[in-house]
Structure formats: C-alpha cells, structure tokens
C-alpha cells in the first residue's frame, strides 16, 4: 500500500526543489538603493531625443554607491560593454539573465558565483550615460522584460546592510 505512494512523494519533492531553485533564480532584490529615474519601455532617448525602447530600468545614485546582485547566479560577463560601459552580466539559470551597466568599478569576475544581495559593482557614469546611475536589465530567454515585474515594491525596502544580506 505505501510502496505506491513513495514514488509520487519523490516526484513531489523533486518538483518542490525545482520550484525553489526557480524562485532563487528570479531577480527579486533591488540592485541599488536610489530612486528609479527611468522605467522599462518606450521613451524619448535623452541622448538623441528620438523615441527608443529602454530595455531596463535606471536607478539613480552617486558614483561609488553599491550595486547588489538581484538573485544568486554565475557571472558570465564582467568588463567593458560598449554603450553600457563597465557592466556585469549574471546567469541565474532557467533562461534568466540580469545586466548591471554604467558601473564605475566591477567587484566580481567571470565565472564567479554570487549570492542574492552580494555587492558586485559600484554605480558609475561609464559608457553612454547622462550621469551617475545603474542601468538594470532582466532578460528571459534573451528577451528584455520589465524588471518591475520581478522586483518587490520599494515601500518597506530594507538595504542589505540593515537586513544582514549581502556583504
């Protein structure tokens, strides 16, 4: 009687572990403490004034403010990335990749595993930028999606140095 239930329980445990891994892969931690200065979607480009699609969100800050990983994953790129300037790209699995751009300093290297909330860079003004800020993208199967669909609302937001998360 119990032998027939055991395989079902094993499948259930495996599915729960898979869902837990997916939850850890989703970018649910704000990558910077500043205010959002530009949202995802169509906007008038501040550098050329024509309408262009903005593939992420911008978070204002001062040069040197910390940038944190929005989810655990593996750094797949850390370096100069054209108009993005100094940038970090993290693969979180399940087709989820995040990009952190315009940084002044990168604190991680390619191949490095990072934790959610870990400090990975410092806000900067590198690449094609109008001032110090973090440009943050979420890509799902290489398609840009709105980061606000994953990030928590800012009300009640607690910086990592107060919550014990991160470095």
Whole-prediction pTM: 0.80
Predicted confidence at residue 8, as pLDDT, reads 76
What does the block give as tokens for 94?
């399940």
User: Could you say which DSSP state residue 163 is in?
Assistant: H
Q: Are 139 and 159 in contact (CB under 8 A)?
A: no
Phi, then psi, of 155 in degrees rounded to 5: -60, 130
Task: Spell out the long-range contacts of 158-161 with Cβ–Cβ below 8 A and sequence spacing 24 or more.
Answer: 159/33, 160/68, 160/117, 160/119
Predicted confidence at residue 99, as pLDDT, reads 98
CA distance 83 to 145: 20
Q: Are 83 and 129 in contact (CB under 8 A)?
A: no
Which pLDDT tens digit goes with each residue over 48-96? 678 777 789 999 999 999 999 999 999 999 999 999 999 999 999 999 9
Predicted confidence at residue 18, as pLDDT, reads 65
The residue ranges of the chain whose pLDDT is under 70 are: 1-7, 9, 12-20, 22, 45-48, 154-167
Q: Are 117 and 166 in contact (CB under 8 A)?
A: yes
Phi, then psi, of 3 in degrees rounded to 5: -60, -35
Phi, then psi, of 23 in degrees rounded to 5: -60, -40
Architecture of the domain spanning 5-163 = Distorted Sandwich (2.70)
């Amino acid at each position: 009687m119990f032998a027939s239930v055991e395989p079902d329980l094993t499948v259930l445990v495996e599915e729960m572990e898979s869902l837990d891994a997916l939850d850890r892969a989703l970018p649910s931690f704000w990558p910077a403490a500043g205010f959002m200065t530009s949202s995802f979607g169509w906007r008038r480009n501040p550098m050329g004034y024509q309408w262009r699609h903005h593939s992420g969100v911008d978070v204002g800050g001062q040069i040197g403010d910390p940038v944190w990983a929005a989810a655990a994953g593996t750094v797949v790129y850390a370096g100069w990335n054209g108009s993005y300037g100094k940038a970090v790209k993290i693969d979180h699995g399940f087709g989820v990749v995040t990009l952190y751009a315009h940084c002044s300093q990168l604190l991680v290297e390619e191949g490095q595993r990072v934790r959610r909330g870990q400090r990975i860079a410092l806000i900067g003004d590198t690449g094609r930028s109008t001032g110090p800020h973090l440009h943050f993208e979420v890509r799902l199967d290489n398609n840009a999606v709105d980061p606000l669909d994953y990030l928590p609302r800012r009300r009640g937001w607690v910086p990592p140095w107060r919550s014990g998360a991160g470095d």
